[in-house]
């Protein structure tokens, strides 16, 4: 018995929905979406940041573009990718939230990494967030400067991780330092806290990144175009 028009419609529409989930069925592609949620990037930059070859990066980006999750523009020899609208970043946050709630491995892997980096002490994120908003701490954005320009937490200083040691003279030693990067699974802030503590600073990590901050309805500042 041939399928009814209603069944054909449902199959066709669910196949389109599945294109989105299939595009995210790769750890590399999820990471590329997270990187692009911080701001536009060239293929070369994405390859370096994700520790992939140019060929693999391009192939993954083509899959994401085929599902409408990224878009690109070309200027001369360079192709720049970006997210087409905030809904893609919202999707990334939703996937992360479900994984955190349903997969015990997320917490297990995270605890092991934090323990290895001596950062398992409990942090009251709500209280820390309130102190950040009140300007009671020195807030460091340790992402690359172009990401800071695309969007950052108000009051933050842009101190990219590779420049941190050189910038220590700017930081008041009697004030607690809070470092943040791209979110709870970004390692830049973890490394920054290690370096700050080794040099005598009282330092903690804000788990939330700009995406999380904006998702709470909190203001994000931009200095880029």
Q: Give the domains, in start order, of the chain with CATH numbers.
A: 5-88 (1.10.10.10), 120-215 (3.40.250.10)
**Whether this model's pTM surpasses 0.75:** yes
**What secondary structure does DSSP assign to 2-53, as a single string?**
PPPHHHHHHHHHHHHHHHHHHHT-SHHHHHHHHHHTTS-EEHHHHHHHTT--
Phi, psi of 206 (to 5 degrees): -85, 115
* Distance of alpha carbon 118 from alpha carbon 191, whole angstroms: 11
- pLDDT score of 225 more than 80: no
* Confidence at residue 118, expressed as pLDDT on a 0 to 100 scale: 79
Ranges of H-type helices in 37-124:
43-49, 54-66, 86-102, 104-116
Model confidence pLDDT, tens digit, residues 85-110: 999 999 999 999 999 999 999 999 99
Question: Catalytic residues, which ones?
Answer: 181
With 70 as the cut, is the pLDDT of residue 224 above it?
Answer: no
């Amino acid at each position: 018995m041939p399928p009814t028009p209603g069944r054909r419609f449902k199959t066709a529409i669910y196949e389109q929905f599945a294109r989105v989930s299939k595009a995210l069925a790769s750890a590399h592609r999820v990471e590329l979406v997270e990187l692009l949620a911080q701001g536009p990037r060239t293929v070369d930059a994405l390859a370096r940041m994700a520790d992939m070859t140019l060929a693999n990066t391009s192939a993954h980006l083509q899959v994401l573009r085929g599902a409408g999750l990224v878009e690109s523009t070309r200027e001369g020899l360079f192709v720049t990718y970006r997210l087409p609208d905030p809904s893609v970043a919202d999707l990334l946050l939703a996937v992360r939230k479900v994984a955190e709630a349903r997969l015990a491995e997320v917490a297990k892997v995270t605890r092991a990494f934090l323990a290895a980096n001596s950062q398992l002490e409990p942090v009251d994120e709500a209280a820390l967030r309130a102190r950040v908003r009140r300007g009671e701490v020195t807030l460091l954005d340790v992402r690359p400067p172009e990401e800071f320009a695309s969007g950052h937490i108000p009051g933050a200083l842009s101190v990219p991780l590779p420049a941190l040691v050189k910038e220590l003279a700017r930081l008041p030693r009697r004030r607690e330092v809070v470092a943040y990067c791209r979110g709870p699974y970004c390692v830049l802030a973890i490394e920054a806290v290690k370096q700050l503590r080794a040099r005598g600073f009282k330092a903690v990590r804000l788990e939330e990144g700009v995406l999380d901050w904006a998702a709470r309805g909190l203001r994000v500042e931009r200095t880029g175009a």
